[in-house]
A and B are shown apart, each in its own frame.
Chain A
Amino acid sequence: MRHQIVSDDLRAPEMAEAVEKCVHCGFCLAACPTYNLLGEEMDSPRGRIYLMKNVLEENLPAAEAQPYIDRCLGCMACVPACPSGVEYGDLLVGYRALQEKQRQRPPLDALARKLICETLPYPRRFRLAALSGKLGKALLPVLPDAFASMLSLLPDKLPPARPLPAVLPAQGERRGKVALLLGCVQQVLAPEISHAAAQVLARNGVEVHMPRQQGCCGSILLHVGEEEQARDIARRNFGCIPADVDAIITTAAGCGSGMKDYELLFKGQADAARAAAFSHRVIDFSAYLARLGLRETTAGFSSQRRVVYQDACHLLHAQSHQSEPRALLNGIANLRLVEIADAGMCCGSAGTYNIDQPEIAAELSRRKVASILAAEPDLVVSGNIGCITQLRQEFARQNLTLPVAHIAEVLLQAAPA
């Protein structure tokens, strides 16, 4: 599409390129959850691109477009669906950051913002804050992505902190050396995931480094427009993660795709090359393990289990990991993987979404659960805490007892004794 985007924003070239590549063909509409629900053009990827274009061209006040941009789940289903190679994510992330900078925040928001910036990215502080009840639900509406949905589930009692060693040695012959990112919120709310991931890696001959100084991926800071601070926390990770690891592993979909965007975040910075090198080594847990190959065949389950693998948008669409987790699961004896209808549709967990757009989010999880139930599974597996939380919530609401687990936990469970 032709455009007249003139902006001196650092990300303007990427935004303009996305608009330029869009030929308005509509192929992406079929993949978009909000379009499927609402059937209105401004709630489709094509419509949103057009709206953002018009705002960037100063033909339309940003406030008018805002509701439709806010309704975007950021699920990236439109990206693989686009034959023309439009990097919708580049446009959306750049656009949101730009709007954030220009948005006047009311004073209360400023306070909440401070709390977020100084708490969430630091697991220890976060844990304390969560325990002291400071992170009340008041914070939720300003939080992005997986964070909010996890916080909205803040249990009355937090699971006990389970510090991990700085290094977990490889068992048997060493086949790899990696750094494991523990994430911020996940570490506090579901420490068992990182524990399982570290153990599975070690059992498969991988030396796992988990430096204590590591921070979060910074995407939460980016979301609230704190770019500089996001870069600082990223730099902290560059500093503490050994230079000679084969890979930097994440167990949450959003962190992975967030860190893969470091290249854009560090554009024009002195340490841009370092950021790029770092982000190129980031890989999701299941993708790394599938590439490495499981060393021993898993013992598997004692009796047949039907398992549904729930694709996290940020693994499937943003990082193209469709086959890897399935290959791992298929290797487990007595596990029968069953596919569901519309596997690529978001479950609605995209963070604040539950709070900002309760109806859409509820309808998306309702649909997702319906397609899962139609497959009659005994267990649901996912690679992302956001989805896991969302599904558990919806199952509970419907009084279902279907278990939901992270793929690392399932692999650990199925490992040979």
Chain B
Amino acid sequence: MNRAIYDALETIYPAERILMRDAQLLPYESDALTAFNTKPGAVVIPLNEDEIIATVRLCHELDLPFVARGSGTSLSGGSLPIADGLVIGLNRLNRIKRLDPRQRIAVVEPGVVNLHISQAAQPYGLYYAPDPSSQSICTIGGNIAFNSGGAHCLKYGMTSNHVLGLKVVLADGAVTEFGGESLEGVGIGPDVIGLFIGSEGLFGIALEITVRLMPQPERYRTVLAAYDDLGCAGDAVSMVVASGLLPGAMEIMDRLAIKAAEASVNAGYPDAEALLIVELEGEAPQVEAEFEQLNGIIAESGAFETRVAQSEEERARIWKGRKSAFSAVGRLSPDYIVQDGVVPRSRLGEALLEINALKQNYGLDVANVFHAGDGNLHPLILYDGREPGALRKAEQLAGEILALCVALGGSITGEHGIGMEKRDYMPAMFSEEELDIMQALRRAIDPKEIANRGKMFPGGEAPALALQGMHPLEQQGVISRE
């Protein structure tokens, strides 16, 4: 980072909030996808939105690429720094500015942790619905960039369904507001909030977010069904969907994932090939009626054991196992890739069989944890990075699984985003024209491509990672790169 840039940053920040030493930069060089690492030129720690705005303007002026960073839990390299670029660490902007229980809204800063909103709303019987497994630490800013979802998004939708208003600084330094405080305001003109949400930090930085709060469900019914066959669990999901029930959540874990979760939090799960968690929620009479119907379906689906959470503690334990599952896999293997793909839920069973066949071909272990209700698969591919070629093999398998998702009519990401990891898979999903339109839109907002440069779009600057040679999808002829 050259002197001129440092001097310019010094006009905004005191020296202790400009991090430039090796020991300060190294911890920022990866997000939760450690296969990629790049040391940034500097990290700045703003304390308020004025500092963020001034920083973005400065970057625009100096042609300095920047990456906004929340808690760095992105699994796709979304918050991976740009070499010699700037990282803007938003964690100190963690205030809930306003919580209005009457209007059922909260106005928050971008570094507020997802779960903290629900905690603040709890005394009023309200909560913030989107619940990524990482909710205890991921930030609203990161959630917006990736349109994050969670187990309970089956019924209530992802982040985009819960953001009413946004104040952002666009990549060229312009500050603008979209939406407002009421649901009715949305719908006039194009859905700009919808455009910003899921844009992976490419348009600018969210400064202030107005979210919708929901009343806490009066009653939960959480059912845990154990199967001796993964396919049966998948079929059970199809049966529930076909019955017309709309549970709050439907999740599946396979044997390996169960083992990891069990080792991690002692959830007390039964010993099974697959577990299905179904949670009904809503008003008591309705939930009870649905519960009866659900019991019938589960009984027919061939579950060898069914448990119903008898208390809030039991419910919490069931969820804790599920929510820790990704990280818990670290107990089973030194390295793994968390994949994120979507298949139509009617083809869930088929997809699982295929993945099983693929993993046997590769001789790699795959743990499956997924939001079964919306067909969002999370295969975790286990490998040992110390073995030469192991990462490459795992990447290849990951690529084949994504190709499978596309072939089945699904998508290459459900909620973790494209980031760095999947940019080269974009052509598998989108035509050249579609990608061009996206690029044109992006350049209209960020002509210098300084916001999160190098992410999401295929090609661009060379990735700073271990992936070398032909991409697995290239080898299969699914994509081609010049």
Contact = CB atoms under 8 A, between A and B. Distances in A.
Interface string B85-120: 000010110100000000000000001010100000
A155 interface: no
Given A23-B327, A27-B136, A39-B94, 16 more contacts: A21-B331, A23-B32, A24-B32, A25-B327, A27-B137, A29-B71, A30-B136, A30-B137, A39-B91, A39-B111, A41-B72, A42-B19, A83-B328, A84-B264, A84-B329, A85-B328
B45 A40 contact: yes
Interface stretch (A45-53, A116-124, A129-137): A45-53
Closest 10 CB pairs of A and B: A84-B330, A47-B27, A83-B324, A39-B91, A83-B327, A41-B27, A23-B330, A2-B385, A64-B23, A39-B92
Nearest to A48: B27
A413 interface: no
13 contacts: A2-B386, A21-B331, A25-B32, A26-B134, A30-B113, A41-B72, A64-B21, A64-B23, A65-B23, A67-B23, A85-B263, A85-B328, A85-B330
B327 A27 contact: yes
B23 A83 contact: no
A68 B325 CA distance: 30
B368 interface: no
B134 A24 contact: no
A334 interface: no
A376 B328 CA distance: 39
Nearest to B320: A83
Interface in A281-328: none
A26 B72 contact: yes
A14 interface: no
B24 interface: yes
Contacts of A85: 263-264, 328, 330-331
Main SS at interface, chain B: mixed
Given A39-B45, A85-B263, A60 B72 contact: no
A51 B92 CA distance: 22
Given A26-B134, A30-B137, A83-B330, A40 B19 contact: yes
Interface of B: 19, 21-24, 26-28, 30-32, 34, 43, 45, 71-73, 89, 91-92, 94, 111, 113, 115, 134, 136-138, 263-265, 324-331, 334-336, 385-386
Given A30-B136, A39-B89, A41-B89, A83 B27 contact: no
Contact of B34 (A24, A82, A84): A24
B26 A60 contact: yes
Interface in A1-33: 1-2, 20-27, 29-30
B377 to A, nearest CB: 19
Interface residues of A, number: 32
Contacts of B264: 83-85
B23 A27 contact: no
Interface of A: 1-2, 20-27, 29-30, 39-42, 44, 46-47, 50-51, 54, 60, 64-65, 67-68, 82-86
Contacts of B43: 41
Given A46-B27, A65-B23, A84 B328 contact: yes
Contacts of A83: 264-265, 324-328, 330
Contacts of B30: 24
A20 B24 CA distance: 21
A64 B134 contact: no
B264 to A, nearest CB: 5
Scoring A25, A29, A30, A86 by chain B CB atoms within 10 A of each residue's CB, the highest score goes to A25
Nearest to A85: B331
Contacts of B331: 21, 84-85
B111 A50 contact: no
Scoring B27, B111, B134, B326 by chain A CB atoms within 10 A of each residue's CB, the highest score goes to B27
Contact of A42 (B24, B134, B386): B24
Contact of B71 (A1, A26, A50, A68): A26
A18 to B, nearest CB: 11
A51 B26 contact: yes
Given A21-B330, A82-B327, A42 B23 contact: yes
A44 B72 CA distance: 12
Contact of A1 (B34, B138, B327): B34
A51 B137 contact: no
Nearest to A28: B137
B136 A50 contact: no
Scoring B22, B94, B265 by chain A CB atoms within 10 A of each residue's CB, the highest score goes to B22
A82 B265 CA distance: 10
B376 to A, nearest CB: 19
Contacts of A42: 19, 23-24, 26-27
Contacts of B113: 30
Scoring A42, A60, A68 by chain B CB atoms within 10 A of each residue's CB, the highest score goes to A42
